[in-house]
Amino acid sequence: MATDIAASGGAGTAAGITKNPKDKVSFLVAFSYGAGSFGANLTYFVMATYLMFFYTDSVGLKAAAVATMFLVTKCIDAITDIMWGIIVDNTSTRWGKFKPFIFVGTSLTVLTTIALYISPDFDEAGKLVYAYATYILWNMTFSILDTSYWSLSSAITQDPDERVKVVAVPRTVAAFGQLAISAFTLPLVRILGSWTMAVTIIMITAAACLLLTLLFVPENYSTKRETSQSPVQIAKMFVKNTPFTLIMISMFLLEMVSNIKGCFQLYFFKYNLGMENVVQYYLTLTLVFQLIGSSLSPFISKLFGKKNSTIGCYIAMSVFGAALFLFQHEYWGVMIIGAIISFFTGVANITGFSMIVDCIEYNEWKTGERSEGAVFSLNIFKSQISNAIGVAFGGYVLAWAGFVANTDLSAHTLFWIGAMFTFIPAILTIFALIPMFKYEITEKRFLEIVAILRERRAAKAAAEAGTDPAAVAN
């Protein structure tokens, strides 16, 4: 029962708990899982970084129309995310629970991503309809890929230290994916003279990387549910799994910060600083520091614990975000402060996501059912809604502030572009900090939960086989 475990703090381990040898993650498994993340994030960030800019400055769509499209399509996609989570949870095949969906999701997402960056020779209304159709399809196919890929992370190991590594490797490699997109996309577009050709090359690379995940990453803890997953059960899980609810709220607000900044960074460099050609250097620098933070996150987490590390990073991000507002007119200030914020973002991304993964065992301990698909579909649902609100909010602010592409902007417009890139994200980060204080799954408590789950499985297997539970557990 849930009351079997008393809350405990700190970053330590539970005494007397034996770790399972198969929980040790090999270099090949870590590398192959990380390669899949690189591919998936090439796909995501070529959309997230450039699509709004492509629509407004290349296709010629109005910012308000694009903002509305992002909001409407993301709300539609949020519903399909839950559907894919239910399908994944209810799936069991001889190829695994998650890998068939990774294969299908990869194949379809390659095609839809290329379709996003085709500018058809239509009038403005026709172009907007095409944008709606392709973006809805992209969100649906990427949900298949993303839900199944991250669900796989919970099936590789149940050792908390190894799990941080399992999360850290793909999340760190994700920064390489974002770095590659930031550093090479615009130069590739200039060399080829075509967004479509550039994105096609990127997507071929992404598919090759995801193939490594399919070939070399095992599903050690992929179990079939005893009862079918349903929307009602997912809703109950979200309400009853308090740690999951808290971390989701916190990460939702933090992703809002990222989406708002991502929406405005190209506009900020082009119109506020008048340095459009150096934005790729800013993106490269900040991503390098985010990568450093991601790489160091396992060590920081082991020293301070996931929760304390995440809280500390949130505080630092908010403080330096406010400082960025003060120094936004100085190029060196933007570069240095942006790099510092990115370092703490890199740490928080790993520790926060690892805390989400831990909620799967917490839910199994409380309900007796594993719900990887539900957890990660809700995580993607959260990301979709935060992206929709963040980008739509940004687009509406641009329109409200009087933004007109490729013209000299007023001081009013420039002020709000600057504020949305600096001060507003700092405020949102403070709100993201509040739910973190009540998150209860420490490293010690997690190990205790895993030990109880192993005892339950051993007792169940022994009852079915008519043997000693201790023999089954070993």
Q: Please report the pLDDT score of residue 13 as a whole number.
A: 44
The structural domains of the chain, with segments of one domain joined by +, span 28-221+229-465
Asked if 317 and 348 touch (Cβ cutoff 8 Å), the reply is: yes
The helix (run of H) or strand (run of E) holding residue 259 is helix 242-267
Rounded Cα gap, residues 218 and 385, in angstroms:
31
Phi-psi region for residue 121, left (φ > 0), alpha (ψ -120 to 50) or beta? beta
The distance in angstroms from the start CA to the end CA of the chain is 23
Q: What class has domain 28-221+229-465? A: mainly alpha
Dihedral sign for Cα 107, 145, 176, 221, please.
negative
Q: Please report the pLDDT score of residue 9 as a whole number.
A: 40
Of the candidates 333, 328, 368, the residue with the CA atom closest to the CA atom of residue 457 = 368
Run means of pLDDT, 10 residues per run, the chain, 474 residues: 40 50 81 95 91 89 87 77 78 82 96 95 93 93 90 80 78 81 90 95 97 90 67 78 92 88 87 84 87 88 90 95 92 93 92 87 84 78 80 85 86 92 91 92 87 84 68 51
Q: Please report the pLDDT score of residue 8 as a whole number.
A: 39
Q: Please report the pLDDT score of residue 251 as a whole number.
A: 92
